[in-house]
Structure 1
């Protein structure tokens, strides 16, 4: 649900001593603000009526301007419905009358991506940017109009990606991103819905093979005699730390601080799902944290610098490069011990669940440990969560 409210922003005064009247938008506890374009002295604001007091010489005109913009924003929010995003809303209320004529696919995408980066939605921004770059590279021009994105172009693009060795799920990811951008352009009145080219395009995904290794495979990796503090050894230790932390993602590990360690547990919110986790810190993980410790570091692991802006594009790129490098060395180590499929940074999560299943634990308990829904989501609301001691016992059994 999206809430909209008009208020006087008294947090900071302008150079002339006046304050901006703003629109505060709240969605899922996230707060965004839009400027009304009107600023007044504090004495002229009627907080009870949420409007400019009639004592202001231009009260009627300014209140009308604010009301009109309020309803414009409200209408855009209703149109966006479940697809609401602050980036899309800002574009829809853009007062430039020529935007529909001048906005190309790249122009619209660039603005959308830029706004995502502004609010630290860097993950989606990178995905959108990659899809846009790939389509324009195939098209052979720096830009194209939305009218040029038709069935023939998309069908040829899909064939081109397939011929270049991309798997079906990668192709689907590109197409979902391009379709999302196109749908946002329709909402923003950049292109008419009658031009929609995706109705006849199949965007299907294939079930991926499970990326899990056995306990014996992990033991083989642990027994490798690697050069101390080499990149290969550090890569293996990062993988093992993730496994010892119930398959914690490498992104979440990168952001861990000392404040996340509370009473012998790792308490954190997963960045991908925003779910809270409480994981027992067993000796296996404690040893690795100590080995990775760097004096004066803000983070528990030496992945991000202290001055990194969390969830920013720069931090995201550093983590992506770290994961890429780690996967390169994990692949070499997998080949060295003769594993049938290479270990990756994501394997630890699959492996934790698979090993727990082979040890006889229930799907419900494993789902609880990994933070997944099991069975019917509505039914799960009425079920008690498992006791922490039960989860800890399974956790210890899996990693021991």
Structure 2
């Protein structure tokens, strides 16, 4: 078994910070592992081999952070040594250091999440990879780009992350969204025996609050449909995409944008949800065709006039167009006196609400696709005869 000692090398320049390093001794051979931790000579306790500070010092929080990181490093070195010893193979102090450096490179949170994001993209889960990327970017801002080891993620770190978001006015559901993804990453590392579970998420909120009602009644949907917007093409297009989403049983905009012309066959749209991979079939109606007929100049392979140029970044195009549509929908909301933030997502909620108002069974619409867990919605919809849902959609469209 190796011995790990924490050491301090003072600076040759008076008043400047010295360097913390680790001394690894195995079979009488001594090796040194440098760190990037810098402290003053007055902040080093030689007898305890540990950094120390006065609570009133301006550097108190910095020193306490370094002390915590040293503790994690020593624990990691000890764990590596035990693992190498348990394997029954001959190893050296250099092997311990090499494994420590490998671990530091592969199993920092930033690097570990980058590897997960890359695998998600390889597996075609682009949408999921984007949510992981958004979470990683958020955590990087919180950490001011300072990486952290997976086994250094503590309850205190997560509470501070939550508090940081709250101080910026971020909604609880958005904070929970980031926290749940970080928890999934952490749990994956635990499952792969990379770290031990210290349950760092026990004091932060990871639930989902019910959001403010986003559904519009059919009377308001009728007003949106009836607006004369021919002189303002941007608003007209935004209204058309909103209505198309509503007609298509509340189809999400990303699924609409990537519908291909070949998906429309024999009077039915067949597609797979980008979010879940679930296949859905929707009857094509005259209302949908009327909108499509307005955009005959669309020469792309896509059904709707969202991604018109296949030679550019399609996902960037979809996001930019979606942003512009939502921006213009807010202008439309003011025109008809709607007070809730009008977005494409409102069309999804509105269809579900309209279906419920028509007395359509919850098993058909799964509470307007408004379950706390969308898994339940998927189970209900996947088990239904498509004609049942199409009949429900027909009842709704006849009311407009």
**TM-score for the superposition, normalised by structure 2:** 0.66
Counterpart for residue 186 of structure 1: 190
Match of 1:396 among 382, 390, 394: 394
Superposition pairs of residues 31-50 of structure 1, within 5 angstroms: none
Once the two structures are superposed, residues 50-98 of structure 1 have per-residue CA deviations (whole angstroms, 9 ceiling, x without a partner) of xxxxxxxxxxxxxxxxxxxxxxxxxxxxxxxxxxxxxxxxxxxxxx885
Task: Give the root-mean-square deviation of aligned CA atoms.
Answer: 3.3
Q: Distance in 2 between matches of 1:143 and 1:321?
A: 31
Q: Distance in 1 between matches of 2:145 and 2:341?
A: 38
Q: Distance in 2 between matches of 1:386 and 1:189?
A: 44
| Structure 1: gaps of 5 or more residues | 1-95
| Structure 2: gaps of 5 or more residues | 1-98
Match of 1:346, SS state, is helix
Deviation at 1:287, TM superposition (A): 1.0
Superposition pairs of residues 155-174 of structure 1, within 5 angstroms: 155-174=159-178
Match of 2:294, SS state, is helix
- 8 Å contact kept, 1:368–1:386: no
Counterpart for residue 289 of structure 1: 292
Once the two structures are superposed, residues 247-295 of structure 1 have per-residue CA deviations (whole angstroms, 9 ceiling, x without a partner) of 1111111122221112222222222232222222111110111212335
Counterpart for residue 326 of structure 1: 325
Q: Distance in 2 between matches of 1:342 and 1:250?
A: 16
Counterpart for residue 142 of structure 1: 146
Q: Distance in 2 between matches of 1:191 and 1:375?
A: 29
Q: Distance in 2 between matches of 1:142 and 1:374?
A: 35
Match of 1:339, SS state, is coil
Structure 1 residues 307 and 283: alpha-carbon distance in aligned structure 2, compared to 1, 3 A threshold: same
Aligned residues: 299
- 8 Å contact kept, 2:151–2:196: no
Q: Distance in 1 between matches of 2:380 and 2:227?
A: 43
Match of 1:292, SS state, is coil
- 8 Å contact kept, 1:293–1:300: no
Match of 1:210 among 205, 209, 213: 213
Deviation at 1:217, TM superposition (A): 0.5
Q: Larger Rg: 1 or 2?
A: 2
Match of 2:226 among 223, 228, 231: 223
Structure 1 residues 188 and 101: alpha-carbon distance in aligned structure 2, compared to 1, 3 A threshold: farther
Q: Distance in 2 between matches of 1:135 and 1:227?
A: 45
Give the stretch that moved more between structures: 120-129 or 165-174: 120-129
- 8 Å contact kept, 1:368–1:385: no
Once the two structures are superposed, residues 24-43 of structure 1 have per-residue CA deviations (whole angstroms, 9 ceiling, x without a partner) of xxxxxxxxxxxxxxxxxxxx
Q: Distance in 1 between matches of 2:376 and 2:144?
A: 47
Deviation at 1:308, TM superposition (A): 6.3
Once the two structures are superposed, residues 344-372 of structure 1 have per-residue CA deviations (whole angstroms, 9 ceiling, x without a partner) of 11111211121122223222333499799
Q: Does 1:344 align with 2:343?
A: yes
Structure 1 residues 399 and 118: alpha-carbon distance in aligned structure 2, compared to 1, 3 A threshold: same
Match of 1:303 among 288, 302, 306: 306
**TM-score for the superposition, normalised by structure 1:** 0.66
Deviation at 1:155, TM superposition (A): 0.8
- 8 Å contact kept, 2:127–2:274: no
